[in-house]
Structure 1
Amino acid sequence: MKFEVKNPDYGKSPYTGMTKEHWLEACEFLLEGIFSGIESMEGQPVSRRVEFEVSYPNKNSSPTKASAERFEGLARSFLIAAPLLHNRPEAVICGVSVREYYKTRILEAVTPGNPNYLYGLQELLAMAKEGEDTFQHTCECASLVIGLDQCKGIIWDTYTAEEKDRIASYIREFAYGKTGAHNWRLFNMLILGFLHQEGYEIDRGVMRDHAQTILSYYAGDGWYRDGHRFDYYTPWAFQVYGPIWNRWYGYAEEPWIAGKIEQYANALTDSFLSMFDKEGHVTLWARSGLYRNAASSPFASAYLLNHTNVNPGLARRINSGALLQFITREEVFVNGVPSLGFYGQFLPMVQDYSCAESPFWIANPFVALTYPEEHPFWSAVEENGDWEQLGDWGAESSPHLHSPKGYTETIMNGPGIVSAHLGGNGACEFRTAKGLFKPGDEYIRYYIRLAFHSHYPWEAFDGQGAEAMQYSISYDGAKEALVPNIIMYGGVNDGVLYRKQYFDFYHNFQGGASIDLADFPVAYGHIRVDKMRIPNKPFTLTMGAYGFPEYQAGEKTQVIRRSCDGAEAVILKQDGRQLALVAYTAWESVETKERRGVNPAAENSILAYGKLRREKMYGYEPYVMISAVLSRTDDREWAEDELFPIRTVTFTDEEQCGGYGPVTLLMKDGRTVAVDYEGLEGHLMI
């Protein structure tokens, strides 16, 4: 099962061929998969599960979770159905009237005594586990009212006054119920906003308290700190629900707050363009990765604002590219619905708050389907932003890759993200910071990495030494290797990003093992100039590149070794793509190992990594580890200047160990890059 773009329009959409008609066909395609898996069309749209240990409901979850799963199926699939009904009120899927199905199921969901009743707040509180006082129903009520608004004349307006009151009474409980101290405040705001829009009285003080709290999370560059994290919840929650709330309530009733939400939304769309690659693809990063292309939503919801800076041709190109990234791949679908994974099923990226129906949130960008055909989002010719200026860097006739136009870079100090568009391979690669988790927390693997790459999803940690895109330290005698659990942002100075991370951080920094991180992009990837600060010895330290699939169409990946002026490179090569790890200083060897079950895109993978060892407690030995992680999307042999972009490295100390002072890199493109860690300790942010 996969979606195919039939009769693509490359005049209007030269990059994807996708028009509004194709988006509507995508809605029908997704609903066909959902409806084909429903056990009975008399029930809620619940999928056939294939996983029962991590996703809910499971043997450890609250009794409330059974109805929560049914509500997710109803409300989130409605986010696909409602935009379709807005355009095609008579839509029929699998022989079923979409309008009648959802009109009936929604009313049943709020009707006590009906087999499809989903329970009200007080009933959930009565059956909840000890300490459980917030419920997934709050989130799904928000999705429900978004859908009801999107097809208002098709479903909501056809209910009787009593039926509307019944729905309003049900959702009102959750509007005033306890909610999460993060993006969930927006769910309450939307429920209240919908009630207000439909003529029901609301408590304006409650609404204002939620709204001021949302504003207080703002960090800059369009990003909100969601709880204590920065992640895709800014684009797919804050920057979708905020504009909807503005339209329903904010502009008329809270203009100052609405103005801030609009200002922040425009700041986000300005900077967030940098986090999609040449194909408009999404990078796997942070929690809830199974929402996939929902990350592109703010480029669709921006047109709900009174004023937006978004280029409509680029907005549609990114949204269409991100949608096609997933729905055109057969492995994405299990039993007709998107899997619990990024591409195929992949449990290391699934959280226990997700169920089989959670991925239906990929529908968030479908808000654009409520815009008329003549709207700029649909009528503008697709554009590809700065990728058009970078050009086709993979062509034989391309200019020298290490010219100043070999990449573009966007700095977002608010969330501590620096993102690069790489002209050499068409990838987006971004480096993040401002992350803190307790040692051993599973969220470390989602957030704390040296970099994230649109072509190479992060790999799960296995605790057995080298890990993908992270340092790992093994102390002699320890049972398990350690990875950093805190990463701090030091800012960008003269083109170099500075960060710092600690291993096994608890309450203070004293005596902790840490790495000062310094890196900058080149056209094919990035250069690392990192300084170890590890007081206890003996230890073995490793640093992995990205995980690389071990096989392609049954053929084993080639492992190629090259060297140049003391630098050592390992190249992993398949037809049409190559990944290289190049080690310059401090690393004693560059090795590879095979791994299983840790890669979201392949069962078996290969990891290239650098390795060194320190045994002397206080010895003046090389401190600065210089490396390059590079990739390309063709079969051409790497030119020496491409694979080994550094001409010379000069340290301040006479021993050339990098114990103190600046490190100067003369690049083969003529640039001189100075890396200086002085003062980093005073500029770190979390």
Structure 2
Amino acid sequence: MHLPPADRALSPYTGYTRAHWEAAADALLAAVEPYAARGGALYHFPGDRESWSGHLSDGLEGYARTLLLAAFRRDETALQRYADGLAAGVSGVWPRIEDRSQPLVEAASIALALRLTRPLLWDRLDEGVRQRAAAWLGDALTAEPWPCNWELFPVTVGGFLEEIGYETEASRKAIERGLERIEDWYLGEGWYTDGDGRKFDYYNGWAMHLYPVLHAWLADDDRLLDLYGGRLSRHLQDYARLFGADGAPMHQGRSLTYRFATTAPLWLGALTDRTPLPPGQTRRLASGALKYFLDRGAVNPQGLLTLGWHGPDPAVLQGYSGPASPYWASKAFLGLLLPPDHPVWTTPEEPGPTERADAVTSLAPPNWLLHSTSSDGIVRLHNHGSEDARYDPYYTRLAYSTVTGPSSSYDNSVIVGGDPSRAGIEPLGAGEGWVASRHTAGGDARVTSVVLARGAVEVRAYLVAGAVPGTAVRVTGWSVAGDAGGVVRAELVPVVGLSDALTGVTGDGDTLFVALARLTGEADAVPLGELVGVRAVGVGELAVRWSDGSEARVVFGGGAGVRVLGVGSGE
């Protein structure tokens, strides 16, 4: 991909400017054009993979997601091609929108693109094409979505159809129904779950916030924009901390092949003036993520986005991932809706939170602990509240980072009796420098986990209860194989109840296992034992002393499951 020269005056961290984003959008659009089929209604990309929705649906996905890119770019030449494809698609090529079908997802991208570019595309269509297109989209108003972010697809279609005066009552009902449904999943402080349960990941930003905020903004509805925009603004306070200094998003959750779609909520906050982030920091984080992926092979020699993370990688895919799925990365180009003279484009880049200083941040709704180190730019996420067994290992591991991905050997796990599963995760709270949870492992055993973090250092403690005496327990840490190998290093040191091989056995009652862990990019890091001291005080209590003399005490048991007390602080 050919990009302009780096501009280190305006963008000292990434070198990227608006011209880089425009060039990237243009290159991606040019690369997909040869793969148009059936009058431009379908885009079939090469490869032997097909999603579980089938070949025809995958072709529609290719059309819809790349149309979204053309809409954000406002490329009139490209939009004319998509207008031709729309006319062909609604004349019998596209599959119908049915209950819980993939065309419902793609209808939302098409409707949003048509709404954003109405004078450039929709208003120029023949009346007959408009009628057929509205009728095709209209099935989305009553189609049953999956009970998750899919509830927002009828909202997005309804917003466009109401605007053009098609089935206005049904459109309003679809909007109201979807917005009402997501209220059940809003847990405060800017965080949604992606449906029932505790499913926290990037769908918060590129779906749960994106569609309601865009709808409110396009409808010029101040009440809704204050509500959903306020939630977005609060979310961005936490969200900005999920990016490493190298631009990498946190490697956690499903649909990671959407890659730089992670930048969509950053741009959305700036677009709607609902962000706590300075404009230079918004662009630095967003450009950092785009550059991260473009520099690491996300685009193949043909200019196409591949199915993977850096380059092709089947390990990060789900059954619904088809050849065109990565093009939901188009959402990243939302920032091009901002005019060239907007401060987000003209203000010099500012460092992101990870680059400013070491930080340990607890996020209450997902019950996560983030800790980042400015010396190596790594962000680590300790997961004590997000779970979705369908998409293990991207939800159920104890920790994730911006420089490692979950391994097939069960990194960041407590393996009880040979069983690496972590089920029924129960959040037990998070506070200054710590987070805790309880889960089921090895059949009937219950594991209470707590981690304390300072800088890159982690104290990981696990109290195993309910296991048969003599049950084997193994603790694992960070896996740095593959791309991270040689750049960062991982340590895991046994302290209590574990051998040098990081294995142990349960006793007659509750059994405590403790290890020190570190993931670092520092070549000459101080030995872990010099940074923190840990000793067990009986079975259910742990004393921790940091090198600066500060202390903490971890107390297991009682109704709360675990308490973390700062000596002298009363916490």
Do they superpose with TM above 0.5?
yes
Following superposition, the deviation at residue 330 of structure 1 comes to 2.4
- Other-structure match for 2:63: 74
- Other-structure match for 1:460: 408
- Matched residue type, 2:415: S
C-alpha separation in 1, matches of 2:483 and 2:235: 38
**More helix per residue:** 2
Following superposition, the deviation at residue 201 of structure 1 comes to 4.1
- Other-structure match for 2:533: 648
- Asked whether the 8 Å contact 1:278–1:426 carries over to 2, the reply is yes
- Other-structure match for 2:88: 108
Aligned with 2:423: secondary structure? Answer: strand
Aligned with 2:369: secondary structure? Answer: strand
Residues 424 and 586 of structure 1: CA distance in aligned 2, closer, same or farther (over 3 Å)? farther
- Structure 1 residue 83 corresponds to structure 2 residue 83: no
- Other-structure match for 1:56: 52
**Structure 2 residue runs without a partner (length 5+):** 564-571
Aligned with 1:649: secondary structure? Answer: strand
What percentage of aligned pairs have identical amino acids?
22
Residues 329 and 426 of structure 1: CA distance in aligned 2, closer, same or farther (over 3 Å)? same
- Matched residue type, 1:120: R
Q: 2:521 aligns with which of 633, 636, 639?
A: 633
Taking the TM superposition and a 5 Å limit, the aligned residue runs for 1:309-320 are 309-320=276-287
**Superposition RMSD in Å:** 2.6
- Structure 1 residue 220 corresponds to structure 2 residue 188: yes
- Other-structure match for 1:211: 179
**More strand per residue:** 1
Q: 1:667 aligns with which of 539, 546, 561?
A: 546
- Matched residue type, 1:170: W
- Asked whether the 8 Å contact 2:2–2:23 carries over to 1, the reply is no
Deviations 1:615-665 (A, max 9, x none): x6x278xx332222223325x33333xx33444323323xxxxx13x3111
- Other-structure match for 1:503: 441
C-alpha separation in 1, matches of 2:227 and 2:377: 34
Following superposition, the deviation at residue 550 of structure 1 comes to 6.3
- Matched residue type, 2:84: T
Following superposition, the deviation at residue 307 of structure 1 comes to 4.0
- Asked whether the 8 Å contact 1:220–1:415 carries over to 2, the reply is no
- Structure 1 residue 611 corresponds to structure 2 residue 490: no
Following superposition, the deviation at residue 235 of structure 1 comes to 0.7
Q: 2:366 aligns with which of 390, 415, 425?
A: 415
C-alpha separation in 2, matches of 1:534 and 1:317: 49
- Structure 1 residue 381 corresponds to structure 2 residue 348: yes
Taking the TM superposition and a 5 Å limit, the aligned residue runs for 1:370-409 are 370-390=337-357, 407-409=358-360
Aligned with 1:219: secondary structure? Answer: coil
Aligned with 2:553: secondary structure? Answer: strand
- Asked whether the 8 Å contact 2:361–2:370 carries over to 1, the reply is yes
- Other-structure match for 1:339: 306
Q: 1:182 aligns with which of 136, 148, 151?
A: 148
- Matched residue type, 1:519: V
Following superposition, the deviation at residue 234 of structure 1 comes to 0.7
Aligned with 2:91: secondary structure? Answer: coil
Which stretch of the first structure deviates more once superposed, 667-676 or 73-82? 667-676
Which of 1 and 2 has greater Rg? 1
Taking the TM superposition and a 5 Å limit, the aligned residue runs for 1:236-251 are 236-249=206-219, 251=220
C-alpha separation in 2, matches of 1:491 and 1:369: 40
Q: 2:497 aligns with which of 586, 600, 610?
A: 586
Following superposition, the deviation at residue 151 of structure 1 comes to 3.0
C-alpha separation in 1, matches of 2:255 and 2:561: 33
- Asked whether the 8 Å contact 2:371–2:379 carries over to 1, the reply is yes
Following superposition, the deviation at residue 199 of structure 1 comes to 3.2
Residues 331 and 374 of structure 1: CA distance in aligned 2, closer, same or farther (over 3 Å)? closer
C-alpha separation in 2, matches of 1:683 and 1:298: 35
Deviations 1:464-483 (A, max 9, x none): xxx211111235xxxxx332
- Other-structure match for 1:464: none
Taking the TM superposition and a 5 Å limit, the aligned residue runs for 1:288-303 are 288-303=255-270
Deviations 1:595-631 (A, max 9, x none): xxxxxxxxxxxxxxx22234x6x278xx332222223
- Asked whether the 8 Å contact 2:493–2:500 carries over to 1, the reply is no
C-alpha separation in 1, matches of 2:41 and 2:211: 29
- Asked whether the 8 Å contact 1:474–1:540 carries over to 2, the reply is yes
- Matched residue type, 1:433: H
Please give the TM-score of this superposition, normalised by the length of structure 1.
0.76
- Other-structure match for 2:566: none
Please give the TM-score of this superposition, normalised by the length of structure 2.
0.91
C-alpha separation in 1, matches of 2:188 and 2:239: 12
- Asked whether the 8 Å contact 1:265–1:302 carries over to 2, the reply is yes
* Number of corresponding residues: 559
- Structure 1 residue 521 corresponds to structure 2 residue 491: no
Residues 527 and 423 of structure 1: CA distance in aligned 2, closer, same or farther (over 3 Å)? farther
**Structure 1 residue runs without a partner (length 5+):** 58-64, 91-97, 126-132, 391-406, 462-466, 476-480, 506-511, 553-572, 591-609, 654-658
- Asked whether the 8 Å contact 2:270–2:279 carries over to 1, the reply is no
Taking the TM superposition and a 5 Å limit, the aligned residue runs for 1:244-259 are 244-249=214-219, 251-252=220-221, 256-259=223-226
- Other-structure match for 2:426: 488
